Chain A
Amino acid sequence: DTGVSQNPRHKITKRGQNVTFRCDPISEHNRLYWYRQTLGQGPEFLTYFQNEAQLEKSRLLSDRFSAERPKGSFSTLEIQRTEQGDSAMYLCASSLDGSGAASYEQYFGPGTRLTVT
């Protein structure tokens, strides 16, 4: 399978704990995105990397959230001191960096569903 992969697929944690999610993009894609989706809503943008550089962050990404892409390949999203409001599906996407339509189309992974109890 050469698509975007995310691990774990599900995570249940207690309020106040830290959690970390991993995203592996499509191998030739150097752009990587994180989104968050709550029930009945469309995904909301969190942050974006080009290679290892984090180029854009949403105001939704509070100080408790941190994302990294250390070698320009996989990325991790960490949430510290989780709150019940963090319960959501966390989606990762990737795209090419180039010209033409193919460079803009974002391909999404299956998501990590976080439940904070």
Chain B
Amino acid sequence: KQEVTQIPAALSVPEGENLVLNCSFTDSAIYNLQWFRQDPGKGLTSLLLIQSSQREQTSGRLNASLDKSSGRSTLYIAASQPGDSATYLCADNQGGSEKLVFGKGTKLTVNP
């Protein structure tokens, strides 16, 4: 059974800092890995999707990497801003299944 773990569960940083959020998965036979942002009481906003054949994806200040051999993905946020404060979730799906398996998320607070 695929398990996805996100460490740390919560992170507080000062504005302007670069930071890395971690995601690990137990079964390396993933098909895609997707990073989401969730604001309190809201739905999920897709940030980046990395296919299994890719190593990284970038969007603005965000960069996500994927290392299937080690079962890890990281989300790098450059020059953090208070508006980045949210919970960040990673999720993967394996070949043969359309469902996403989610981690519990990392709650990020960026202090002005």
Contact = CB atoms under 8 A, between A and B. Distances in A.
B46 A107 contact: yes
A65 interface: no
A85 interface: no
Interface in A41-57: 41-45, 48, 55-56
Q: Is the interface of B mostly helix, strand, loop or mixed?
A: strand
B98 A33 contact: yes
Nearest to B97: A56
A25 interface: no
B107 to A, nearest CB: 9
A104 B105 CA distance: 21
A22 interface: no
B104 A42 contact: yes
B98 A48 contact: yes
Interface string B34-46: 1010000111111
B100 A45 contact: yes
5 contacts: A48-B99, A104-B32, A104-B34, A104-B49, A105-B46
